[in-house]
Structure 1
């Protein structure tokens, strides 16, 4: 094994040195924040024979903040450039069509990533450690659409990386796009790294990649504990992304070089992202042109800090308050344990042994006259604890919540009788979250830009399931055309609020009771979690309504038929009556004729 480090590893060591120089130490701060959130709040505190209570305010606060920021649904919209010309050109129509198809593909990717859960995890990381990072890569071993299209390979994958494993080349700026390089570190099984090196034909000696114990900079105490077993060791790896200028030949839509008037290929200078992956002493792959124009990294700070790329976490500011509250509660408990039960005191000149058993007799000797029993035995009065201690604890908890912008109404510690007032208080308490919310929106938009860049670089011609006029169809789209389009990226992150959902449901209930909505309109608008199997219920109601409509139609047809039959019968009866009257008239006329003839003969 070559003991010489790679050049990229020197950059990784420089990044660690920067984190260790931060005041307070970055790695110690991250580990302490994670431990306190998990409830390990007496670490490195020497206490003897004292209780160690934990009133985890940090966890309650962070859970509330994450729940307030988490969106019910996250969408990324791509919009083409709006032109002033009323007559759209083929290029304009192509951009509109490309934006629509790209939106459909990105929605599929977000569902595959389980983006709503990824956002929750990222917000927890940012609130606890200060940073969250989304790393995207193209996995060529994956078969999209379940392998239904054998000629299509590769899928875009997303992973969340701890902030302690991300290193910026310009650590004094948190902007990703201006970085000279970005390093992503991680630990993987040695066998996986060796097989990856073989695929890239970078290393033929498996001995260059061996297991190590370089896990001291991993986040949390659990990150520093691994299974130590033969053939299952892990090694630390780093991926270094750099932007480099390269010269390329322009090509037409069919992939042929574009020539100038002298039949020379026309070239252009573009900036692309190059990637190298290595362990400490060996490269797995080196200086590969990814074709991307954007770093495949989306960086999120909970609260940005001046002149450094690491953000400030909520935990960092609450730790001293949390320690004070726990210590004060511990001293109150210790005082109660020591003084709550009174101690018996007796005069050993008269009593040899004190017997505290119930109903037992205590012999007294040497009493030479009347002696007050209070002078022989009694109980010591315990010292009273100052009420200022409990007041200080209450004030510390109250002021901590108030400075963070958390009220009892927002936490749900009130009776929600006045819903409008509750919503107003909740909205006012959410104002301190506006800055993290804007950071979240920016993070989601950065993810949209990365996905657009990766689809245009790697996807090529792929099928997309589109829904037009209620009908789903499969359309083919050449994603490489996205490289020549300008699409505006917009993040649509909807805030989910417990009280706003209650108010919405109450409004829907009122509209239903007043007859302004039918049951189907009501069910389509009520949140999913309020009615189990809502779609099945809607389908059953629609089926019953169709059956009722068919029955009503059949009844109407039968009534119409019966009315028609009755009319025909009435017409037939009237016709018979007319015929009978005509016959009677004819008989009467004939009778008169006969009588007239008889009279004439006479």
Structure 2
């Protein structure tokens, strides 16, 4: 067996760090995922007890994720230090904004953000990993351009920072991304990078899935010729060039090693639900609710067990007088040795069950209520109150959203990091490729050299949340006022309205311009004098003189006639 690679030693060091965290990081992640999915009695032996599940964890996390993703998300690149010519019809920042919007649509970014927030809320972390797939054709057979930026979400258990006490990505000496893939795929990839036969044969099936997220991550299909192997990708900064180098390997062999990616930023965007001091892992929302969820489930289980044991009264009878007890409906029960002074109640009866304290139900209700309220998921936030005072409801809903401010700020930072990564990758990999643009209302395709992005510096701003929505509404209202007051025309209005508010905006602008040009031409034609009508109004001798006059004299006569016939103002 070949020796373990040096990169694999770094991976093992990262696993040891996670296992030293108290409580154990992998155990915490697995428990959170199972509790969120509803498997809340795992590893508990309670054969006689019922196992109820009142999943308040899922209700709270679903509500908070929905609250964070209820608004639109955009990325804007703005040039710094007057690096663009404002008179140009097409600036690099416009190209960057359009390309990122296209990439977001390909990534299905709205769904990716929801999945990332669910990961962060349940495990504490979410990671977006970007790579450039050279096998893809972004325009199909219409262009020779090859390669496309791709995005994947990676579980926090598969990401390892070189400096685990710092959550910032750019300051890391190295970052490791791990995963599992088919052995056949890994060997084909090693072949593309021209690895020798010894390295390729060292890529074999393994069962190193103990650190994968969730109980389901530790179960794989066992079939011949379809085995999987654990791989790691190590990104590290080259101290000389300050660019990112990448290596991919399995435990005993490299697939590729120290390839210069040309990137200046790690292609990794890291998101914590709640940042923790001196470690790169975040604290999950689910972790804090787990003890409350366990208490609620256990109390409900004991209540149910009590009802099962005592809800139906126990029958007791005098065995000396009764031959046997028959509990069938309408069945006769024979009694022997009964005298005239014997009371039937002394022969058989029912035991009264013990009463359960009402404090148990109150404690369960208070536990559920306080858990939701402290996390901002109150009845007012959920809309489960009588809407008599709408102003009070709005005030309560706004105050209940305060616990989401920190996760929301972390989300803003994450989206801006994604914008910087995409800008870096476009400038590094795209090169000269066709770009569809709209110039003066007409669609066209131009060749744009994306390598100039490497020499430019743009400010990346993420417009996330309700503020961007309301600011757009305020801008549109201002534009409406300027249009109604006549300070701007309809063309200026349409050029400044966001494209998503008006379908096919550029086509509409082009049609309006054509109609305006036609109207202007008709007005000019109507304003031009009719020479035949002017000649017809002259006496016969003047008509003959006009026709015999040179062109300059004819024009002077026409202008004199027009000035005399013009209406007095």
State the TM-score, normalizing by the size of structure 2: 0.80
Q: What RMSD in Å do the two structures reach over aligned CA positions?
A: 2.5
1:283 to 228, 247, 254: 254
2:290 corresponds to 1:319: yes
For residues 299-356 of structure 1, what are the alpha-carbon distances to aligned partners after superposition, in whole Å with 9 as ceiling and x for unaligned?
A: 0000000000000001111111100100000000000000000111111121111112
Structure-2 residue corresponding to 1:37 = 36
CA distance in 2, matches of 1:279, 1:349: 80
Q: 1:196 touches 1:284 (CA, 8 Å); kept in 2?
A: yes
Could you report, residue by residue, the CA deviation over 1:507-539 in whole angstroms, capped at 9, with x for unpaired residues? x9xxxxxxxxxxxxxxxx9xx9xxxxx989xxx
- Separation of aligned partners in 1, 2:392 and 2:433: 52
SS in 2 for 1:245: coil
Paired position in structure 1 for 2:281: 310
Post-superposition offset of 1:412: 2.6
Q: Does the CA-based 8 Å contact 1:272-1:289 persist in structure 2?
A: yes
Aligned partners of 2:85 and 2:91 also within 8 Å: no
> Within the alignment, does 1:207 sit opposite 2:201 as a pair?
yes
Consecutive unaligned residues in structure 1, runs of 5 or more: 84-88, 247-269, 509-524, 529-533, 537-541, 543-602
State the alpha-carbon separation in 2 of the partners of residues 460 and 422 from structure 1. 54
| Mapped contact 1:95–1:485 kept (Cα < 8 A) | no
After TM superposition, the structure 1 = structure 2 runs for residues 424-573 of structure 1, keeping only pairs within 5 Å, are 424-495=395-466
Q: For the residues of structure 2 that align with 1:438 and 1:471, how far apart are their CA atoms?
A: 39
Distance of 1:414 and 1:469 partners within structure 2: 53
The higher radius of gyration belongs to 1
Shift of 1:371: 1.2
Give how far 1:107 is off. 0.5
Match of 1:188 among 181, 195, 215: 181
> What residue number does 1:19 align with?
18
Aligned residue number for residue 56 of structure 2: 57
In structure 1, C-alpha distance between the alignment counterparts of 2:100 and 2:234, rounded to whole Å: 26
Q: Deviations over 1:242-296 (max 9, x none)?
A: 00034xxxxxxxxxxxxxxxxxxxxxxx310000000000000000000000000
Q: Is the 8 A contact 2:247 2:254 kept in 1?
A: yes
Deviations 1:31-71 (A, max 9, x none): 00000000000011121211000000100000001000014
Q: Which whole-Å CA distance do the structure 2 matches of 1:148 and 1:414 have between them?
A: 57
Q: Does 1:162 align with 2:159?
A: no
SS at match of 1:467: strand
> Could you give the per-residue CA deviations for residues 185-244 of structure 1, whole angstroms, max 9, x where no partner exists?
000000000000010012323321001000000000110000111110000000000000
For the residues of structure 1 that align with 2:69 and 2:430, how far apart are their CA atoms? 30
CA offset at residue 402 of structure 1? 1.7
> How far 1:409 sits from its partner (Å)?
1.5
Contact 1:70 1:495 in 2 (8 A): no
Higher alpha-carbon deviation: 373-382 or 161-170: 373-382
* Aligned counterparts of 1:368 and 1:347: Cα–Cα separation in 2: 15
2:139 to 141, 145, 156: 145
- 1:471 is displaced (CA, Å) by 3.6
CA distance in structure 2 between the partners assigned to 1:47 and 1:451 by the alignment: 52
Q: Deviation at 1:82?
A: 4.8
Question: 1:485 Cα shift?
Answer: 0.8
Contact 2:89 2:439 in 1 (8 A): no
Residues 1:81 and 1:223: Cα distance change in structure 2 (over 3 Å): same
Report what 2:511 is aligned to.
Answer: none
Deviation at 1:478, TM superposition (A): 0.9
1:338 equivalent to 2:309? Answer: yes
Tell me the distance in 2 between the aligned counterparts of 1:314 and 1:90. 44
**CA shift for structure 1 position 375:** 0.7
- How far did residue 414 of structure 1 move? 2.4
CA distance in 1, matches of 2:58, 2:50: 21
Aligned equivalent of 1:373: 344
- The match for 2:322 among 330, 351, 354 is 351
Indicate if the aligned counterparts of 1:71 and 1:496 stay in contact, CA closer than 8 A: no
Bigger drift between 44-53 and 10-19 goes to 44-53
Q: Distance in 1 between matches of 2:87 and 2:196?
A: 49
Larger mean Cα displacement after TM superposition, 290-299 or 355-364: 355-364
Q: Are 1:78 and 2:77 an aligned pair?
A: yes
SS at the partner of 1:399?
Answer: helix
SS of the residue aligned with 1:50? Answer: coil
Residue 101 of structure 2 aligns with which residue?
107
Gaps in structure 2 of 5+ consecutive residues: 478-496, 509-569
For residues 174 and 284 of structure 2, what CA distance do their matches in structure 1 show? 25
Matches within 5 A, 1:199-278: 199-205=192-198, 206-246=200-240, 270-278=241-249
Q: Aligned partners of 1:443 and 1:490: how far apart in 2?
A: 11
Residue 108 of structure 1, CA deviation:
0.4
Task: Kindly indicate whether the alpha-carbon contact (under 8 Å) linking 2:84 and 2:91 is maintained by their aligned counterparts in 1.
Answer: no
Change in Cα spacing, 1:352 to 1:60, as seen in structure 2 (3 Å) is: same
Question: CA–CA distance in 2 between the matches of 1:439 and 1:196?
Answer: 35
Structure 1 CA distance for aligned equivalents of residues 112 and 84 of structure 2: 39
CA contact (8 A) 2:133 2:149 kept: yes
Contact 1:292–1:454 (CA<8 Å) still a contact in 2? yes
Paired residue for 1:361? 332
- Give the distance between the partners of 1:145 and 1:71, measured in 2 at CA: 32
Correspondent of 1:397 among 368, 378, 389: 368
Shift of the 94–449 alpha-carbon distance from structure 1 to 2, 3 Å rule, reads: farther
CA change 1:93–1:278 in 2 (3 A) is farther
Whether the 8 Å contact between 1:188 and 1:237 is mirrored in structure 2 is: yes
Residue 488 of structure 1 aligns to a residue whose secondary structure is strand
Query: Which of 378, 394, 402 is 1:407 aligned to?
Result: 378
